[in-house]
Structure 1
Amino acid sequence: MIRRCLWRSRSRAYLTPRSSQFLLTTRPINPARRYRRRPNNAVNGQDGAPAPVLGGVAGMARRVKSTLLGAALGAFGLIGAAAAEPAMWVVKDSDSTLYLFGTVHILRPQTTWRTPAFEAAFKAAEEVWFEIDLASASDQNKIRSLAPLFIDPSKPLSQKLDAAQLARVRAVATKLGLPAANLEALRPWFVAISLIGPSLQTLGLDPESGIENVLSKEIGARSARALETIDQQFGFFASMSEAEEIGFLMESIEGIEEGAAELDRLINAWARGDDGELVTILNQEMREQFPKVYDTLILKRNLAWVEQIKTEMAKSGVDFIAVGAGHLVGEDGVPALLRKAGLSVTQVQPKP
């Protein structure tokens, strides 16, 4: 859920950076409800390599280009938006309520996005879910254990890219103050992710102002949950073919080169909760041009989340799920898939 992963950035992988999970509850948690805790997972940089920004893999490659933009949603505040009303849905049955809120991983500190409907939903939740748990983001040992998924010592980056591609990647790295040599052993997908964070910083974005980070500090004693593990998210990217990885990298590079060119459109679409516009910006191109990548990073993950939500709905209580906005829109979005599965789903904001 996006994706959708911090510029969810021009690369559609973000629409949220450090994913965390939290809950604020004004009523006692139902002791009869069963809760399963998942291990904390985090994303951190490998020694000698740029630290990647993964907030939910999901975003990271939607239309790859928009992936980068996705994360930047809200980067410059809500331009042209009189009143922010990011999309939120509620799933209900006789004894369970579950809210779905579309997020962006990075925002400017002054951005206003909270609404009375959001506050009420978040406050009522007994459990808060995010794409992944980044509480152990400083766990270098964990990231090192995943090195085989993002490091390829047998074939350096310079042998995978053609001269023009390599020149563009190196130019971006140099502009961001990153030694090109540090990228040589990294797989293309990881190079893309490693460049996104620094790119966002040059735009003045603050990960700490991202929705997940803000909410994680407000959970209090409530239960925090994750839909995926960092192992799974790395695995999604690592499952791409070399050609797909290179395509993902170059789309991300294009997004970085264009900078804020498309941000206004994206930001306003998220702020308005404009389902159709977000589908066009974040998912449509990736689905058409990179169908296998779309299937891996968006559809399959959404379907897996639907199964987890169905399990939660079989219990009782109130849950709040905050994931990249790109995972919640369109016919392949989680709300639509839940309806197809027979669950009652209503859009809370904006009113349809």
Structure 2
Amino acid sequence: MRTLLRRMATLLGFAPPPLYAWPGMDVSLADHRRLHMVGSIHMGTKDMAPLPARLLFLLRQATALVVEADITIGSPLANIPPVDTPLSARLSPGHYGILSGLCKEYDLDEEAMSTLPAWRVALMLQARQAERLGLRAAYGIDYQLIQAARDMDKPVIELEGPEEQLDLLLQLPDQGAALLQDTLRHWHTNARLLQTMIGWWLNSRPVNLAKAFPSTFSADLYHYLMTERNLRWKQRLEDLPAGGYVVAVGALHLYGAESLPSLLQR
């Protein structure tokens, strides 16, 4: 029945957008610019490699690959200065208790974390959670796309770059306390989000996209990390020269409120 309806829609001139086996969609801009937007996951499982042949075909036909940042050139996180106030004094007793329990469960050095900025602790927790779910950076979608683009001699265009991403984190109020609090508060929801993305890349598309991507950020943090960045990326994508581009960004940028595709199509 679904195939019949799609054929009828095509005959009537109302062809629906193509459905991809991965989280992806096509967006057309003015002046002959075409975007294939991919909901990336920065760490992946071994089963997520190699990338789908159809996606690699789209990349081969593209003018360039666009990513948030080229994660293959190293991280600027190595030289983050310590914080004078210990983490136990920067978190509520309840949140610190959750953190302490996670450190024990995930074999993390609680004492070593004590002098780190809160945002850095949040990223470490998120990375360890992903690792426990079997995810590795070498199988991340953006990492694989960058490697494939280089093999094809395709340019790689950064929307931000690692240094700009670090600046975003450094400018968070209270050294990113809200990001750490949200990470602790939504720990199990974050795990389900990762499992949803793994499943989708293994060809199990969520039935209800609205429920598949619940918000795990407070309103202010969401506006800072998602909406404001989407607006900046919108401008950069609209400034691209004519051509076709594969654009890989975190999936929440494609399906959340004030998503990048919806901003581009206004």
TM-score range, shorter chain: 0.7 to 0.9
When normalised by structure 1's length, the TM-score is 0.61
- Aligned partner of 2:13 in structure 1 is none
The amino acid of 2:71's aligned partner reads L
1:296 corresponds, among 202, 224, 243, to: 224
User: SS of 2:135's equivalent?
Assistant: coil
- Aligned partner of 1:316 in structure 2 is 242
User: SS of 1:174's equivalent?
Assistant: helix
1:178 corresponds, among 104, 108, 111, to: 108
* Equivalent runs, 1:186-197 vs 2, <5 Å: 186-197=116-127
Q: Deviations over 1:81-111 (max 9, x none)?
A: xx93422213244543332111122222123
Q: Report deviation, 1:211.
A: 0.8
* Distance verdict in 2 for CA 1:87–1:96, change over 3 Å: closer
CA contact (8 A) 1:227 1:305 kept: yes
Count of residues in Structure 1 that have an aligned counterpart in Structure 2: 244
Moved more, 300-309 or 160-169: 160-169
CA distance in 2, matches of 1:257, 1:330: 19
User: SS of 1:328's equivalent?
Assistant: helix
* Distance verdict in 2 for CA 1:205–1:267, change over 3 Å: closer
CA distance in 1, matches of 2:191, 2:215: 20
CA contact (8 A) 1:101 1:321 kept: yes
Report whether the alignment pairs 1:165 with 2:95: yes
* Bigger radius of gyration among the two: 2
* Distance verdict in 2 for CA 1:121–1:172, change over 3 Å: same
Q: Which has the higher helix share?
A: 2
1:235 corresponds, among 140, 162, 167, to: 167
CA distance in 2, matches of 1:262, 1:334: 19
When normalised by structure 2's length, the TM-score is 0.78
Q: Report deviation, 1:197.
A: 1.6
CA contact (8 A) 2:69 2:161 kept: yes
CA distance in 1, matches of 2:257, 2:188: 31
CA contact (8 A) 1:276 1:330 kept: no
Q: Report deviation, 1:212.
A: 1.3
Unaligned runs of 5+ in 2: 1-19
The amino acid of 1:188's aligned partner reads A
CA distance in 1, matches of 2:237, 2:219: 25
1:143 corresponds, among 52, 56, 77, to: 77
CA RMSD of aligned residues (A): 3.0
Q: Report deviation, 1:256.
A: 4.3
Q: Deviations over 1:103-124 (max 9, x none)?
A: 1222221237955652332111
Q: Report deviation, 1:223.
A: 1.0
User: SS of 2:72's equivalent?
Assistant: coil
